[in-house]
Structure 1
Amino acid sequence: MFDKILIANRGEIACRIIKTAKRMGIATVAVYSDADRDALHVEMADEAVHIGPAAAAESYLVIEKIIDACKQTGAQAVHPGYGFLSEREAFAEALKAAGIVFIGPNPRAIAAMGDKIESKKAAATANVSTVPGFLGVIESPEHAVQIADEIGYPVMIKASAGGGGKGMRIAHSADEVAEGFARAKSEAASSFGDDRVFVEKFIVDPRHIEIQVLGDKHGNAIWVSERECSIQRRNQKVIEEAPSPLLDEETRREMGEQAVALAKAVDYDSAGTVEFVVGQDKSFFFLEMNTRLQVEHPVTEMITGIDLVEEMIRVAAGEKLRHAQEDIRLDGWSVESRIYAEDPTRGFLPSTGRLTLYRPPADSGMDGVSVRNDTGVTEGGEISIYYDPMIAKLVTHAPTREQAIEAQARALDAFAIDGIRHNIPFLSALMAHPRWREARLSTGFIAEEFPDGFALPVPEGVVALRIAAVGAQIDHLLNERKRRISGQMRPDEAVRFTRERSVMLGSERHDITISEAEGQLAVDFADGTRILVASGWKPGDPVWAGTIDGTPVAMQVRALLNGVRLSHAGAFSDVRVYTRREADLAAIMPEKRDGGATKQLLCPMPGLVRSLLVSEGQEVKIGEPLVMVEAMKMENVLRAEREGTIAKIVAKEGDSLAVDAVILEFA
């Protein structure tokens, strides 16, 4: 076994690998860029080596710097994590040439699965189910129809050199094939200078399900359950779970056996993932193989008890797999949410800045329910523009899917982050979504359910009543505290009170009566509903944790003038508690009017001005591009939201802008 390994990565995956290595008694070496000098993975490792500027192309992606760091520290092996150099055949070859072990698959396997066309050929040779289609040259509409008839409808006609949806048509009949063939060829020729098209089966309402495989250097390979990753936004996974709610035992076994067949065909000798596109009828077709540890690997670990990082390290050291196929047993259900530094209410634009508050729910396990938070940040740390905006992966495990989802929802409500924008409200809303709860999933879920983007939900139904009750409990506690401090409250008064109050959720009024009930606060609503609330919350705590009618509940709490802002189950509300008289008076107060549309274009996130697309004096229409801002490896085009004339351009190309910095002004 190795004495020391280097982790050629950063953030949460570097921290996660370090944890396993330490448990195995292996010393660890971190590498870091200028931007990561004070990062958590640097603090956790036994040693750390500086490898260059913040830009990944000048640090984490430079093979020579990683090898030099190994030589400086005596690291015998390198774990690449995911991303960066993890699937670079050249990296594995360079380590081998330097006498350093790559904790991953052999270079031949990386090469074989890295080419999408070649990987599909390898899959077909290994008798893995591939999407039915014709990859040869199609010369005429008649030939296209003949192929489509053989494949079965619907089919997709795709440009061979295509991308961005150009040269692509879906056809449900022979007539649509003939028409789509002509249009696809024409688009392909004009867009790519190549009019070749091919035809393949179109999977309606597809789901994304992947099989975890493990192989060693002795010819052994097994499959370790599946994960469903159908909740995606623009092909980026958002929520993952294991096992899949779609599969039955027979389909699971067939997919697993095919994944192992492919792994053996390329002599796969590490942890890897075979991804499938799956129809609602459980038909499945090979998509690709990822020759690395997947971001979502924790859900598999939670239901199998297998530490995939440990298995990778042991296999790289030459050990045989410690598990046979018949040893694999699935226990319960696991759900993972990816927590990103992005603003879901502004088109998921990335957010950067300092984490002024970072209080994740504690890793725990009780009554068969456990919470795990894989993270690479700490309170006071900075989210920079240079890397992926992932903050953490929140994972829950429970005996059933429903319980795992409930645990995930509670954990998200208990995850407090300030200083940057983040997607926890969106994730919380997903956890409460009926279609997710019912497992009616597809890769189009988010696009279909949130066609106009995400807006913070207004509390309704049970959620509204819970927020109102907690708001009343917080107000009661604060008032009691004030009265104790001022000496206005008798020692026995707290246990024999009944008070009438009005709780305002924004502009929505709830008339209530509060009283003591066996050590809890009883909140009685005008319609007869009674809610019992109990909590040890103290003023200043960012999370309210307690029980509502005996059920554990968490809510985010932020102080407001004469009230609090509470968030629960994805819904936010400003909560103020009044006497009935105060509520009557508040109802007749004049509303503050909005000052109208701004005449400035403000930068919606910290970023670098890549290009200005307009000039002073230019007239623009709604939707016209104005400026391109780069942040976290993404280029974001800001467009005009009003018609007008550009009066003044304040920013210039190359400027680094903060949130709400003025870019230009309209006349």
Structure 2
Amino acid sequence: MFKKILIANRGEIACRVIKTARKMGIQTVAVYSDADKDAVHVEMADEAVHIGPPTASESYLVIDKIIAACKQTGAEAVHPGYGFLSEREAFALALKDNGIVFIGPNPHAIAAMGDKIESKKAAAAAKVSTVPGFLGVIEDEVHAVKISDEIGYPVMIKASAGGGGKGMRIAHSAGEVAEGFRLAKSEAKSSFGDDRVFVEKFIVNPRHIEIQVLGDKHGNVIYLGERECSIQRRNQKVIEEAPSPLLDEKTRRAMGEQAVALAKAVQYDSAGTVEFVAGQDRSFYFLEMNTRLQVEHPVTEMVTGIDLVEQMIKVAYGEKLTIQQSDVKLNGWAVESRIYAEDPYRNFLPSIGRLVTYRPPAEGKVGAAVLRNDTGVTEGGEISLYYDPMIAKLVTWAPTREVAIEAQADALDAFAIDGIQHNIPFLSALMQHPRWRSGELSTGFIAEEYPEGFAPRQPVGEPAEAMAAVAAFIDHMLNARKRKISGQMRQGHRVSFDRDRVVTMGESRYDVQVLDDGENIAVRFFEGAGGRETASHTIASAWAPGQPVFSGTVDGKPVNVLVRAIPNGLLLAYRGIATRAYVYTRREAELAALMPVKVAADTGKKLLCPMPGLVKSIAVVVGQEVKAGEALCVVEAMKMENVLRAERDGKVKSIAAKPGDSLAVDAVIMEFE
């Protein structure tokens, strides 16, 4: 077996590979850019080599620097992770030329399957059902529009060397094709160094289902079941699960056998993923093949018990697969949520900065479930604008889908992140969505269920009452601490308390009474001051002031609520509900109701930068008349180009930014008359 391997990647996937290598007794080498000098993967590895500036094109994407790092450290093999150089035939060939083993498929398989255009040709030759489309290289916008007209709308424009949603656009008209073609080519060039794109028919109301395959260098190939990745936003997967709630055993076998046939046709010899678009009637069509480890591989590992990274390393060393198709059994259900540094309340725009708080829930067995957190960050670390905004992948396994989802919801509620914006509130809300829970999915799920974007769930019903009870409990504990500090409560002695309080959350008001008999704390709810009692909840928790998560029970049921102190109140988050909670005495509540509401400043005549990013281009000039919907500028953030458009008709008064400027959130780009 290899004695030392190098991981040509960063973040959570680098950490993931290091964990398995360590388990196998293999030493590891990390590589890092200037931006990653203090990263977790650098600390975890046995050795680390600096490879250049923060920009990926000057560090992680430079083949010569990776090879030099291997020679410097004596690394015998390279695991590429995903992204960066993982699907570059040139990288695998360069390693081979230098006597270094590539822990991935052979260069021929990468060329045949890693390129989306070539992979579709190979799939057609292997008699795998494919989506109608144009598999040649598209010359220009006019050519793209002509092809799209022939195929019929809607169409999908995709980068040939793409992945992760980069260089991908859906177009419903000729105008959208022209713009989507330009943006897809630009993103593809920036992210992959290859600006070729192709066009194919977009299947309406589709589901995204992929088959994990595993092959060795002796002609053996098996499939390890499927993953469903239909919950996507802007073609980027958000939640994945294994198995799929759509498939039956017959369809699973048919998809798996087609995936294996395709892999064998190109002599595939590593872990890889054959992706399909599926109809609600279980019809399916080949989409593409990813010749690498997928981001969502943990859900397959959880339901099969097979370590894919370990298998990749063994296969690369030349060992035969010891697993046969009959050995593969799907056990239970796994759900994965991708936790990103992005603001769900501002159309999921990227967020960067320092992780002032980073407290993931503890991994391991939790009741009937198992919790896993794949991450590459730690408290105090920074989220950079140079790379993908992923913070962690939170995975839960349980005997059934329902229990796995409930465990995922509990784990998200217990995941404390502060200092940057993140998408946990959105993920928590998704876990409560009845359509998600029923398994009635499609790739249009998020667009259909959140057409106006995501807004926090309002504090109503049982979850809101639980939050109000927790707020009253926390207020009571804070007051008890103050009394203890001031000497009003003797050390080791608890006094029985009975206090009337008012809890406000948004527009909701709860009249409550907190009872502490020295043994238990109960919160009773009333219909207004002096009204009849409507509910009573017993609270138990070891929560202490300063802890970011309230973990305890409400009426014996485990509850996790994120807690952050704000002036005169608390910011609480639970089950996708994020709200400010204030706990008052009756008199304080009367006075608070008289306070004027602060009015936000009018910024309607300014174009503000919605995320930290780099100005790629300015499309207008001072004095120009613009129409609503017209493109004003393009801002790049975390490898994605974002077109900022005019919200209404107007005239440009001044422009405060220029191409190449690095802007902070809410920086003024231009003003209008």
Report the TM-score, using the length of structure 1 for normalisation: 0.89
Give 1:203 shift.
Answer: 4.2
Give 1:513 shift.
Answer: 2.0
Match of 1:286 in 2: 286
Match of 2:303 in 1: 303
* Structure 1, unaligned runs of 5 or more: 138-157, 172-182, 193-197
Contact 2:397 2:404 in 1 (8 A): yes
Contact 1:354 1:420 in 2 (8 A): yes
Secondary structure in 1 matching 2:621: coil
Q: Distance in 2 between matches of 1:45 and 1:270?
A: 23
- 1:543-622 aligned within 5 A: 543-597=549-603, 599-622=605-628
Amino acid across the alignment from 1:365: K
Per-residue CA deviation, residues 95-125 of structure 1 (Å, 9 max, x unaligned), is 1111111100111111111343442343244
Secondary structure in 2 matching 1:95: helix
Contact 1:344 1:426 in 2 (8 A): yes
- 1:120-199 aligned within 5 A: 120-131=120-131, 161=144, 169-170=152-153
Q: Distance in 1 between matches of 2:176 and 2:77?
A: 49
- 1:429-468 aligned within 5 A: 429-468=429-468
Q: 1:160 to 1:305 in 2, by over 3 A?
A: farther
- 1:53-452 aligned within 5 A: 53-131=53-131, 161=144, 169-170=152-153, 203-452=203-452
Q: Distance in 2 between matches of 1:185 and 1:432?
A: 38
Give 1:637 shift.
Answer: 2.7
Please tell me the root mean square deviation across aligned C-alpha atoms, in Å. Answer: 2.9
Secondary structure in 2 matching 1:51: strand
Give 1:593 shift.
Answer: 3.4
Match of 1:180 in 2: none
Q: Distance in 2 between matches of 1:56 and 1:112?
A: 25
Match of 2:27 in 1: 27
Match of 1:529 in 2: 535
Q: Distance in 2 between matches of 1:588 and 1:408?
A: 41
Contact 2:77 2:102 in 1 (8 A): yes
Q: Distance in 1 between matches of 2:385 and 2:148?
A: 29
Give 1:250 shift.
Answer: 1.8
Per-residue CA deviation, residues 355-401 of structure 1 (Å, 9 max, x unaligned), is 12211112121333111111111112111111111111111111111
* Structure 2, unaligned runs of 5 or more: 155-171, 182-197, 528-533
Contact 1:159 1:185 in 2 (8 A): no
The percentage of aligned residue pairs carrying the same residue is 70
Contact 1:211 1:224 in 2 (8 A): yes
Q: 1:189 to 1:326 in 2, by over 3 A?
A: closer
Contact 1:169 1:184 in 2 (8 A): no
Q: Distance in 1 between matches of 2:232 and 2:445?
A: 7
Give 1:170 shift.
Answer: 4.8
Per-residue CA deviation, residues 129-176 of structure 1 (Å, 9 max, x unaligned), is 334x59799xxxxxxxxxxxxxxxxxxxx99845997766359xxxxx
Per-residue CA deviation, residues 616-642 of structure 1 (Å, 9 max, x unaligned), is 344444444333222211222333445
Match of 2:471 in 1: 471
Per-residue CA deviation, residues 216-250 of structure 1 (Å, 9 max, x unaligned), is 01111111111000001121111000111111122
Give 1:465 shift.
Answer: 0.7
Match of 1:174 in 2: none
Amino acid across the alignment from 2:152: R
Q: 1:187 to 1:248 in 2, by over 3 A?
A: closer
Q: 1:400 to 1:160 in 2, by over 3 A?
A: farther
Q: Distance in 1 between matches of 2:368 and 2:180?
A: 56
Amino acid across the alignment from 1:544: F
Amino acid across the alignment from 2:122: A
Pairing 1:657–2:663 present: yes
Aligned residues: 631
Per-residue CA deviation, residues 378-432 of structure 1 (Å, 9 max, x unaligned), is 1121111111111111111111111111111111111111221111111111111
Amino acid across the alignment from 2:290: N
Q: 1:257 to 1:520 in 2, by over 3 A?
A: farther
Q: Distance in 2 between matches of 1:159 and 1:213?
A: 38
Contact 1:167 1:184 in 2 (8 A): no
Amino acid across the alignment from 1:596: D
Amino acid across the alignment from 1:312: M
Give 1:256 shift.
Answer: 1.4
Contact 1:567 1:573 in 2 (8 A): yes
Secondary structure in 2 matching 1:9: coil
Contact 2:145 2:174 in 1 (8 A): no
